[in-house]
């Protein structure tokens, strides 16, 4: 067994002393050799510790071997090179120098978000005879509708929205929304232009964000139509201004507006709505009749409208016949209340919705709706393939000024791949209007997609 290094140093030192070196030069030379060897050992120890793991303890009674000479140690690996920086793009290389205003924090331009764009499409067909609405023996397209959406911020608190729509079957196209929005604070916003009339949940949701394929309040059989919806305008819009706000992130929301439908000679239509979310929140101006399982929500809302001289009708009196036509000039008013409840259920969800409307209209409009309501129930399954299956039932009822009844039943089945962004719907529709034999049956097939 080789002698330990420390013992070797001690033994060599003792042997040098025993030689009895008499001259000072030999003593100095011996101490210099020991100092040089000790210095080499001190330099060697940290290098070995940095490049090798600590060896396992030797067996009992056996001394560890001396470290290898420094000349036998492999050189340390080179340090990794930093990643090469990507060369600047042509645009970056040619960036113009900043202006004085851009370098001053107080006058530096704000970086506003880009303009958002989107495309919404609905396409559908119906099995129904064109000559006999009760007969399902014919097929034709009944929906080909698109919306193009664009909007963005022009200032930190000012936005612009421009939405276009087109009904390709009817050959019509136009501006749906043209809004300048002043978003000053969460409790206070002012939106002006052509925009949604705030009155009920259905108008804020529109056909894209409700469960049924057909919008409520319009019961039709052939060319006959029973309207049981508030005053709004094309696509639920009108020209005017709306003040609205919310608290607690949309737990409570108010909206009130005045509209003239582009007619300065008529009295303005005043319309408003209050919404309270008891469970969850419903933030923002726009609304939903379903959240497609995204959250639990229980919300109630009330709305109303008023327009002076808003209900005009002409009718022929029974007597005397010489009076001819008479004008009934009456103020129009409407009140409504609605409720939405939607809860997650396993991997699916269940939805219940209802609304009631009361209208004050001219007594000389016997076919006008006086009262109406609808009730809806739906349940969505867990994921089956890439989407959810959702059966739905909705019942609508309307009572006219002359106490004639109209009603409608929709039974639908949807497959929801991405909620409202991608869904297909099959619906059986049965409608009965006032009068003898004014009945319709239909089976509708529709698809909806939203790009945003």
Contact 415, 391 (CB under 8 A): no
Distance CA 171, CA 165 (A): 11
Omega before 302 within 30 of 0, i.e. cis = no
Q: Is residue 314 part of a domain?
A: yes
Contact 339, 376 (CB under 8 A): no
As given in the structure block, the two tokens for residue 174 are: 């136009």
pLDDT at 383 over 90: yes
Q: Is residue 3 part of a domain?
A: no
As given in the structure block, the two tokens for residue 367 are: 């076919």
As given in the structure block, the two tokens for residue 59 are: 């067996």
Q: What is the pLDDT of residues 154-183, one digit of tens each?
A: 999 999 999 999 999 999 999 999 999 999
Strands (E), 156-251: 158-167, 172-185, 188-196, 218-221, 224-227, 237-247
As given in the structure block, the two tokens for residue 182 are: 């002043």
Looking at per-residue pLDDT, the higher value among 94 and 86 belongs to 86
Q: Is residue 17 part of a domain?
A: no
pLDDT at 342 over 90: yes
Closest CA to 199 of 157, 238, 149, 171: 238
Distance CA 427, CA 446 (A): 8
Strands (E), 86-216: 116-127, 139-155, 158-167, 172-185, 188-196
- Mean pLDDT, residues 193-208 taken together: 97
User: pLDDT confidence of 210, banded at 50, 70, 90?
Assistant: very high
The CATH number that applies at residue 257 is 2.40.160.10
User: pLDDT confidence of 228, banded at 50, 70, 90?
Assistant: very high
Closest CA to 224 of 54, 433, 422: 433
What residues pair up with 452 in beta bridges, in sequence order? none
What residues pair up with 378 in beta bridges, in sequence order? 351, 392
pLDDT at site 311: 84
User: pLDDT confidence of 327, banded at 50, 70, 90?
Assistant: low
pLDDT at site 79: 60
Q: Is residue 298 part of a domain?
A: yes
pLDDT at 9 over 70: no
- Mean pLDDT, residues 231-237 taken together: 94
Q: Is residue 21 part of a domain?
A: no
pLDDT at site 22: 43
Computed over every residue of the chain, the mean pLDDT equals 82
Q: Is residue 281 part of a domain?
A: yes
* Domain housing 253: 119-451
Give 203's DSSP letter. Answer: H
Q: Total domain count for the chain?
A: 1
- Mean pLDDT, residues 61-83 taken together: 57
Q: Is residue 185 part of a domain?
A: yes
- Mean pLDDT, residues 242-267 taken together: 92
Q: Is residue 396 part of a domain?
A: yes
Question: Torsions phi, psi of 137, nearest 5?
Answer: -85, 15
Cα-to-chain-centroid distance, residue 333: 34
Contact 252, 195 (CB under 8 A): no
pLDDT at 8 over 80: no
- Mean pLDDT, residues 226-230 taken together: 96
pLDDT at site 108: 53
Dihedral, CA of residue 103, residue 108, residue 112 and residue 114, to nearest 10: -40
Distance CA 135, CA 159 (A): 50
């Amino acid at each position: 067994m080789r002698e330990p290094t420390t013992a070797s140093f001690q033994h060599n030192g003792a042997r040098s002393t025993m030689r009895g070196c008499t001259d000072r030069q030999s003593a100095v030379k011996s101490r210099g050799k020991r100092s040089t060897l000790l210095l080499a050992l001190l330099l060697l120890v940290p290098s070995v510790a940095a490049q090798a793991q600590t060896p396992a303890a030797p067996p009992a009674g056996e001394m560890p071997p001396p470290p290898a000479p420094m000349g036998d140690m492999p050189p340390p690996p080179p340090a990794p090179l930093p990643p090469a920086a990507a060369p600047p793009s042509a645009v970056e290389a040619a960036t113009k120098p900043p202006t004085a205003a851009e370098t001053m924090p107080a006058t530096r331009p704000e970086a506003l978000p880009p303009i958002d764009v989107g495309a919404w499409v609905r396409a559908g067909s119906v099995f129904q005879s064109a000559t006999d609405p009760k007969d399902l023996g014919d097929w034709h397209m009944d929906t080909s509708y698109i919306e193009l959406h664009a909007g963005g911020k022009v200032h930190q608190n000012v936005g612009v929205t421009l939405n276009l729509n087109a009904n390709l079957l009817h050959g019509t196209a136009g501006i749906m929304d043209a809004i300048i929005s002043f978003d000053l604070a969460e409790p206070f916003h002012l939106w002006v232009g052509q925009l949604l009339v705030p009155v009920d949940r259905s108008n804020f949701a529109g056909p894209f964000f409700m469960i049924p394929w057909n919008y409520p309040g319009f019961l039709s059989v052939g060319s006959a139509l029973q309207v049981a919806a508030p005053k709004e305008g094309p696509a639920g819009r009108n020209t005017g201004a709306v003040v609205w706000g919310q608290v607690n992130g949309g737990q409570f929301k108010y909206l009130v507006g005045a509209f003239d439908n582009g007619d300065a000679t008529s009295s303005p239509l005043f319309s408003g709505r209050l919404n309270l979310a008891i469970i969850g929140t419903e933030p923002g101006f726009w609304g939903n009749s379903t959240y497609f399982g995204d959250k639990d929500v229980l919300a109630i809302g009330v709305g109303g409208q008023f327009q002076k001289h808003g209900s005009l009708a002409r009718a022929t009196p029974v007597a005397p016949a010489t009076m001819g036509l008479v004008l009934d000039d009456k103020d129009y008013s409407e009140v409504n209340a609605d409720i939405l409840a939607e809860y997650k259920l396993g991997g699916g969800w269940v939805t219940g919705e209802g609304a009631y409307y009361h209208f004050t209209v001219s007594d000389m409009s016997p076919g006008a709706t006086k009262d109406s309501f609808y009730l809806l129930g739906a349940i969505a399954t867990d994921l089956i393939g890439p989407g959810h299956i959702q059966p739905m039932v909705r019942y609508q009822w309307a009572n006219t000024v002359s106490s004639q009844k109209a009603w409608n039943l929709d039974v639908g089945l949807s497959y929801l791949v991405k909620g409202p962004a991608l869904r297909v719907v099959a619906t059986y529709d049965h409608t009965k209007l006032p009068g003898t034999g004014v009945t319709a049956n239909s089976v509708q097939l529709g698809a909806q997609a939203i790009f945003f």
